[in-house]
Amino acid sequence: MSDVDQDLTTILGQLESQWRENGAPIAGRLAPGLSDDQLAADFRAADLHLPDEVRRWWGWHDGVRRLEPATRLGVESQVGPGGWEFLTLAESMAERNLMLSLCGRAHYPADDQDWDGYWRPSWLPLFAFDSNLVFVDLDRSPLGRVPVHLWAAQPEDVGVPRTTSLAELLAIWVRLLDERYYWWSAEQGRWQDRRPDVPPPLIDRGLL
């Protein structure tokens, strides 16, 4: 097992444990993961690079089994912090295709320092909330780790990574759940939070 796999496997176990301890709906609706062969075939068909973190992510669980199939309704896909929903690979590819149809270009700059509204083919969403997307850049994945970016409802600084890896983002979520900044309320039927108490450096990332 690579260092990337080992690091992410530990964090994924902690995240799932937090969901189960919270009694969150997502814990009981997680879908089986995809095989390495299936992932390799799907990414090859889309002409996309498959970094280790992304392979491990959907190899863990391919999103959730939705209560209302073919819809994006319900709370069963919500991870907790930020209200983000865990996308299946098919949902992720559909979001990517939509963004390319809206914001794709024939030519792209060498870097994203002067980003001006485009969506790169190598950008792949992992989580969504309304018109907001948390995505990774598949072509910038040193040692298999993918930088995490935010496309907000009013996007800005899209080219600036919010975390250096998927593992770093998930570790933040584990901390927020473990320290009860976010928790599932069965009585309310929704996630509750103490967002004003969240440490400012975590708020400043724009992912909550």
| 3 state SS of 136 | strand
Q: Which residue has the higher pLDDT, 5 or 61?
A: 61
Quick one: pLDDT band at residue 6, thresholds 50, 70, 90?
confident
Q: What is the pLDDT of residue 69?
A: 81
Distant-in-sequence, close-in-space partners of 53: CB < 8 Å, separation ≥ 6: 4, 8, 136, 141, 144, 145, 146, 165, 166, 167
Q: Give yes or no for residue 1 having a pLDDT over 70.
A: no
Please report, rounded to a whole number, the percentage of residues in the chain having pLDDT higher than 70.
98
63-104 tens-digit pLDDT: 999 988 877 778 999 999 999 999 999 999 999 999 999 999
Give the mean model confidence (pLDDT) for residues 102-131.
Answer: 95
Tell me whether residue 111 is exposed, middle or buried, using C-beta atoms within 10 angstroms of its C-beta: 0 to 12, 13 to 18, 19 or more.
exposed
Q: What is the pLDDT of residue 70?
A: 74
- Average predicted confidence (pLDDT) for the chain: 95
Q: Give yes or no for residue 125 having a pLDDT over 90.
A: yes
Q: What is the pLDDT of residue 185?
A: 98
Q: What is the pLDDT of residue 138?
A: 98
Q: Answer for the pair 138, 122: CB distance below 8 angstroms, yes or no.
A: yes
- Greatest extent of the chain over all pairs of C-alpha atoms, in Å: 51
Query: What distance in Å separates the CA atoms of residue 184 and residue 22, rounded to the nearest whole number?
Result: 6
Q: Give yes or no for residue 58 having a pLDDT over 90.
A: yes
Q: What is the pLDDT of residue 169?
A: 98
If you ran DSSP here, which 8-state letter would residue 31 be given? P
Tell me whether residue 63 is exposed, middle or buried, using C-beta atoms within 10 angstroms of its C-beta: 0 to 12, 13 to 18, 19 or more.
buried
131-182 tens-digit pLDDT: 999 999 999 998 899 999 999 989 888 999 999 999 999 999 999 999 999 9
Q: Give yes or no for residue 208 having a pLDDT over 70.
A: yes
Q: Answer for the pair 120, 28: CB distance below 8 angstroms, yes or no.
A: no
Three-point CA angle 121, 122, 123, nearest 5°: 95
Give the mean model confidence (pLDDT) for residues 26-36.
Answer: 98
One-letter amino acid of 34: L
Alpha helical stretches, state H, 61-114 = 89-103
Q: What is the CATH number of domain 3-203?
A: 3.40.1580.10
Q: Give yes or no for residue 5 having a pLDDT over 90.
A: no
